Structure 1
Amino acid sequence: MKASLLLCVIATVYLASAVPIKEEELGVYPRFVTFPDGEGLPHVADLQAEPDHALLEEIHRDPANNLYLLFTRNNPTQAQTLIINNSESILNSNFNPEDNTIVVVHGWLGGQDAGINPTIRDAYLGKGSANVIVLDWRRLALSNYVTAVIGVPDIGVGLGQFVRFLISVTGIPYESIHLAGFSLGAHIVGNAGRELEGRVARVTGLDPAGPLWIYNDNKITENDGVYVEAIHTNGGVDGLGIGDIVANVDFFPNGGRSQPGCLTFLCDHDRSWELFGASVTYNHLTGTECESSWQVTFNSCSGAPFPLGNDDLNKTGSGFYRVNTGRRYPF
């Protein structure tokens, strides 16, 4: 009985300290917000939903309990499963230490079949040899939005632990690793980069989720990698993405709120990973540096040019940029 009571107390203390939601944030957004799932279909998120404390406690105890799926040019569509603390799963796979590694992380209600995964996978493998690892964190992602938000830091820690294990087994350098995540996944890769002390070459946030994140200390930041980039396609308090500058370089395509060819904010939100995938293939989207949010909104930026996205692991820069795109792929 005493042991059970002690466990309850520990769990309560952990959950109280882990909840990143601040009261002022609830007033920024309406209570109900509609997000796309992995297939772009709408689902309502209740920002005042009760968290699933049991699930959060379990994830906190074992943050590495995620699914890591490897794709290479030798297995471009059939995944090989990599398992943390199981070196044979890596050594017996097609993972090539000579190639760069990109880790792709889906958003809320997604999974291994979410549209972001084949889009970015095919862009990388269509261009050259690479290790493309898809993180499937659906166990938490399929919970209510509030629960998923609270659990994001632990999923990020788990990803960081996996990357550290991958490095220990294969000897690959931090300079060969790029972490890219969409929506809640953007904050996951930020936390993973933080777990790795900001040493990975690149961290990319694809329209990082906005609801319950504006005042959240666990959101993606410019310190999470050697170079951190954010692509904002549906930002602001009336959108699904965070409209704030969060990275070394922040891009605001077409003003960063709505996108040409999109009729819904769900499409606007998803456009971030579509633009990134196209940029890996063509490296054709160039932003213009801005001095103010007014310039971003009214398309009057006149500063230096800088490329959006791409797969360059030596990329460096700072500032915020507007880039104008087309209505359809490759934009």
Structure 2
Amino acid sequence: MKTALLFLLSLTAALAVPLEERKYSRYVQYTDDDGVHTIDLEAEPDMALLEEVTRNPENNQYILFTRRNPISGQTLVMNNAQSITSSNFNPAVPTVVIAHGWLSNQNTEPNPTIRAAYLSKSDVNIITVDWRSLASSGYTTAVLGVPAVGRGVGQFLTFLNQVTGAPFNRMHLIGFSLGAHVVGNAGREIGGRAARVTGLDPAGPLWSYNSNRLQASDGIYTESIHTDGGSVGGLGIGSAITDVDFFPNGGNSQPGCVTNMCNHNRAWRLFAATVTYNHLVGRQCTTTTQITWNTCRGDSFPMGNDDLNKRGSGMYRMDTARTYPY
């Protein structure tokens, strides 16, 4: 109990950054299909839920999809070897782990779209992380609990490795929004040994100065795709945080979008398209001014795709179309 309390206190410190030092006001508004929503960045977190998440990070659910079961998932259970050995999991092929964002679950995007893109392309294990028990809480609570959820994912991957021999360097961890920071912490838990860690518009509010955010050391190769990093109210973090950071269309707003949520969601839509086509190529930028004014003239580098051996560094911009495959 004492250890859990100390951990929660250290997490709470992540929210102590004065609001005037961040690009966000206290209230962040976003619009989706259900209307306008408001996030209170100073809301009191649910400490009872955080204590439970911290004490029992294995409460995450892990759902396996393969070409043998592309639609109906199989549940893999932490510390239950039979749940894995009796499933369709194949340690001889790559493993792709997908973590959803806030207010989502295993059935919501980006899970179905990214899963379909991969299974249509190649023989892989797709493991969807369902962390809805925390993701469905208030935003400040979810932010504080992300490190524990990520540690739980990392512990599960360690168990998977022990049971099946599936190597960490054949694993690709992908997360959207808050899920980007979840997979960052998962990669950290396994010592940065995952082949790739990809953040799809990593969440911005309360993460700019947060040491628990996705970072370059979380995998052998890490990348982020920034699509809603606007200086006022952007839902994405908007700054370079990984080995390679992509800024499609400048990284703040996307063609055909009129809301922050549309911009935010474009990250996983673009990524899924690159898994299929590997067609979006950025030019390296040396400054954020070049990103803004589309004057990047450096080397070319592909955004996204499913290459486990991908390596690179730097910031890149490319322009895309308004509709799929962009």
Instruction: Sort the TM-score into its range (normalised by shorter chain).
Output: over 0.9
- In 2, are the aligned partners of 1:26 and 1:212 still within 8 Å (CA)? no
* 1:16 maps onto 2:9 in alignment: yes
What is the total number of aligned residue pairs between the two structures? 323
Unmatched 5+ stretches in structure 2: none
The superposition leaves residues 95-119 of structure 1 with CA deviations (integer Å, 9 ceiling, x where unpaired) of: 1111111000011101011110001
Partner of 1:3: none
* Cα distance in 1 for residues equivalent to 2:98 and 2:199: 10
**Deviation of the 1:175 alpha carbon:** 1.3
Please state whether the residue corresponding to 2:231 is helix, strand or coil. Answer: coil
Taking the TM superposition and a 5 Å limit, the aligned residue runs for 1:87-106 are: 87-106=81-100
Q: 2:295 corresponds to which letter in structure 1? A: S
**Deviation of the 1:33 alpha carbon:** 1.5
* Cα distance in 2 for residues equivalent to 1:22 and 1:169: 41
Unmatched 5+ stretches in structure 1: 1-6
Partner of 1:51: 45
* 1:305 maps onto 2:291 in alignment: no
**Deviation of the 1:261 alpha carbon:** 1.2
Query: Which stretch of structure 1 is more off in the superposition, 26-35 or 272-281?
Result: 26-35
**Deviation of the 1:236 alpha carbon:** 3.5
Partner of 2:173: 179
Q: 2:93 corresponds to which letter in structure 1? A: D
The superposition leaves residues 303-331 of structure 1 with CA deviations (integer Å, 9 ceiling, x where unpaired) of: 00000000000000000000111000100
Q: 2:162 corresponds to which letter in structure 1? A: S
Partner of 1:327: 322
Q: TM-score with structure 2 length normalisation?
A: 0.96
Partner of 1:151: 145
- In 2, are the aligned partners of 1:207 and 1:231 still within 8 Å (CA)? yes
Change (3 A) 1:197 1:35: farther
* Cα distance in 2 for residues equivalent to 1:94 and 1:25: 48
* Cα distance in 1 for residues equivalent to 2:114 and 2:325: 13
Partner of 1:315: 310
Percent identity (aligned): 57
Taking the TM superposition and a 5 Å limit, the aligned residue runs for 1:219-258 are: 219-238=213-232, 239-258=234-253
**Deviation of the 1:260 alpha carbon:** 0.4
- In 1, are the aligned partners of 2:194 and 2:220 still within 8 Å (CA)? yes
* 1:285 maps onto 2:298 in alignment: no
- 1:273 pairs, out of 268, 271, 281, with 268
Q: What is the root-mean-square deviation in Å for CA atoms of aligned residues?
A: 1.6
Query: Runs of 4+ in structure 1 displaced over 2 angstroms?
Result: 9-15, 22-28, 34-37, 39-44
The superposition leaves residues 152-209 of structure 1 with CA deviations (integer Å, 9 ceiling, x where unpaired) of: 0000000000000011111011111000000100001111111111001000000000
Please state whether the residue corresponding to 2:103 is helix, strand or coil. Answer: coil
Taking the TM superposition and a 5 Å limit, the aligned residue runs for 1:148-227 are: 148-227=142-221
* Cα distance in 2 for residues equivalent to 1:292 and 1:16: 37
Q: TM-score with structure 1 length normalisation?
A: 0.94
